A and B are shown apart, each in its own frame.
Chain A
Amino acid sequence: MEYRNKSQRKWFVSLIYQILLISVIGVTTGCTSNDQTSSRGVLRVAAEAIVQTDPAFISSDSEVMVVNAVYDYLVDVDESNQIQPRLATRWEVEENGLTHTFFLAEGVRFHDGTPLTAEDVVWSFDRLRNPDSGLPTADLYSNILKIEATGTLEVTFTLRKTNPFFLYDLSDNHALILKAGTDEFGSTFNGTGPFKVKTYSPEDRIELVANDDYFLEDLPKLEALEIIFFTDEAAEANALRTGQVDIITQISTALFKNLQLESSIITLNVATNAFPVVRIRADQPPGDDPRVVQAIKHAINRNEILALVQQGLGAMGHDTPIGPQYSDLYVDDLPLPELDLEKARQLLDLAAYADGLDLTLRVPEAQNFPDLAVVLKEQLSKVGINVEISVEPESVYYGEDGWLEATFGITGWGSRPYPQFYLDVMLTCDAKWNESHFCDEEFDNWVSIAGSTLDEEERVQAYREIQRILIERGPIIVPFFFPQFGAVHERVENFQMKAFVGRSDFRPVSITEK
């Protein structure tokens, strides 16, 4: 190449030097930035988009995941459903079982720099238990007589009657500690939690950075946590494969099995107490005839349901919401109604349904419930029960309390750290969500004992009776308990997925560059 003059050549050489210089600076900066990232790491988690950001109204796993990172609970529940300290480092219970005193950790500060005091705890729980607030927690905390700040870092709860599960109630998903007087619940994000909100782009992602003033030393291990919103699990899986996200959760059985074959991905399978309940209303025909309920129980093949609907993954259900997760309260030696088609037909004959029984099964379009409905339809057809399936969007099924009115339906229940919740809200006569309209005096009596006695032995006995009654005459079938599936990239360390994914602890999680 010939240059017309010297200055043009000089300009060209200078341009080359500039390009080289910029590249070197760019590469160096890039390396530095990468090094910084890898020193503590940024964790990217795929989740469904959040709608609610006010801790009192959250419900989905992703919503709980966000607030669990930004705020703290008074007490927490670990992977084995055991109560663990969080803001309260220790607690004392008076002998009468009615007074619980909690001692808060020292040096806890909200993200705006103000210190946490007992008043904040009192204010947070008073808001949640206010009967005029219309909050879902008002019922849960109606047993609390009063909450007092008995010291700067000391809170005392006084109960109306004893409750052996009170600590679990305090660890409810909504029971996060906010700063007293907070009024912009959904936008200020002023918690004491391990992460602070950096940016929130609705329907895209929420970026959190580590709270360097977190009261627990060396936690969180991460530099930042990004929760990226997805609408489709296939897209989540691809993002995991290409390293755009590090953790995906709540994946289908098919995807779980598929990801098991990939070397750079570690699959997670956690037992939970989440279950579908197949229930028939006990207050109207045909479910008001116990023989019909028994006929249905004798007609279904539980092993086949688990094999087909769950591909064998999960735990077998025993027609009660109390699963093997609650090892000390779960009873597995009570016999279930055995598969006996002849007996089922005889019971239907006696119930005056010898010519067949037509039922419409309402099913929300969620998880594999439609599959469960299809298998049930086939099994029940063998004893002359003709099931017509109506698959409805979740918004229709659960909307305007339609699910509580359905004669025959399948409903999904999430995993809870203790079983009393299910009995209180879905099975006692006056339960808020008594979808089966089951009402049994003996049952209610045992539920009351189970929910109030402080005597461990008596509680175990009560739970045994509760399970016996439900197996014998409960208008519900719990065919199985779901496992929770997830997958993480191999560079993620110390992530322990909980049964309720949103409550998984991201504080000890770290990233290693591989």
Chain B
Amino acid sequence: MDTSLSERLDAVLREADLHPPSALRKLLGYPSSAIGAFIVTLFLLIAILGTFLAPFESNEQIAADALQAPSSVHPFGTDNLGRDVFSRVILGARDILLLAGLGTLLSVICGTTIGLFSGYVGKWLDEIVMRIFDSLLSIPALLLALLVLGTFGPSRNGVLLVLLVIYTPIVARVVRSVVLDVKGKAFVDAARMRGETIPWILFREILPNAIPTLVVEAAMRFSYSIFLVSSLGFLGVGVQPPSPDWGVMVKEARIYATQTPWALFYPASAIAVVVIGVNLLADGLKRVFRIGDH
């Protein structure tokens, strides 16, 4: 008897009374999650429509307007190089959300695949993979990031690699725990008895059970990725100037904090708001999927 991936997922969600419409209703039922969802949606819209919303180019320098306080022309003021802070914050949303999103997506794909195989095959493969991941996780994230970027040089791809190296082990561990939980269940045994291949069992039978956990984990990783990308930009080892990366903007404005506090305040606030938004959303998803609610 064949069951497609969507049918399995459907079954899992039906079991938990979590069809997309009802899940969304539940999510928006919590005020904090609704706020989170609103913030994330807002920033996603800003990222998508940024080029239409920003009145100036990200690196457009207007010498006569340098060091200007917020006004109707420059709602967030200008920096020391005469660049419109509002436009840079708006255009920076796309850069940071894209980079953090892509990093999260890649680490979720890699982590899921490795976690599924490692947990299902077990034995020596699981042992080796988990010990390698343990050693990676024992190094503080920022230190590991500096190590990777120090080796490969600061660039957008380097940052992507950092996110992959740091978050893959975490996602893999989470997925592996779900695999260990369900791999002994009857439907997995049934699939094995039918003679299904390992990839089929992993992706068609086991993966759907990990989706709720994975969605929450991805949201958490996304929030951490935004923070890490900004931190690396601030430290000067991530995205390079004159990119409107929020971390880079904070770093650049820090020196002129006494002259142009607005150039420091707005990108820093953007980082804080979007990270809070994603965290609130992740908390909501956790509640909706009843993860950790045993």
**Which residues of A pack against B, CB within 8 Å?**
252, 254-255, 257-258, 304, 307-309, 311, 365, 368, 370-371, 373-375, 377-378, 388-391, 393
Contact = CB atoms under 8 A, between A and B. Distances in A.
B238 to A, nearest CB: 11
B241 A370 contact: yes
Given A254-B259, A374-B242, A390 B154 contact: yes
Given A304-B63, A371-B81, A390 B256 contact: no
A377 B66 CA distance: 17
A255 B254 CA distance: 11
B255 interface: yes
A425 B204 CA distance: 70
A308 B80 contact: yes
Contacts of B242: 374, 377-378, 389
Contacts of A255: 258
B78 to A, nearest CB: 11
Nearest to B66: A308
Interface of B: 59-61, 63, 66-67, 80-82, 153-154, 236, 240-242, 252, 255-259
A255 B240 CA distance: 25
Contacts of B81: 308-309, 371, 374-375
Nearest to A381: B59
A308 B82 contact: yes
A505 to B, nearest CB: 30
Contacts, number: 58
Contacts of B82: 308
| Ranked 4 nearest A-B pairs via Cβ | A258-B258, A374-B242, A254-B256, A254-B259
A391 B240 contact: yes
Contacts of A374: 59, 81, 241-242
A396 to B, nearest CB: 9
A234 to B, nearest CB: 8
30 contacts: A252-B255, A254-B80, A254-B255, A254-B259, A255-B258, A257-B258, A257-B259, A258-B258, A307-B63, A308-B61, A308-B63, A308-B80, A308-B82, A309-B81, A311-B66, A365-B236, A371-B80, A371-B81, A373-B241, A374-B59, A374-B242, A378-B59, A378-B61, A378-B242, A388-B240, A389-B240, A389-B241, A390-B153, A391-B154, A391-B240
A388 B156 CA distance: 12
Contacts of B257: 254
B252 A370 contact: yes
Given A254-B80, A308-B63, 19 more contacts: A252-B255, A254-B255, A254-B259, A257-B259, A258-B258, A304-B61, A365-B236, A371-B80, A374-B81, A374-B241, A374-B242, A375-B61, A378-B61, A378-B242, A388-B240, A389-B240, A389-B241, A390-B153, A391-B154
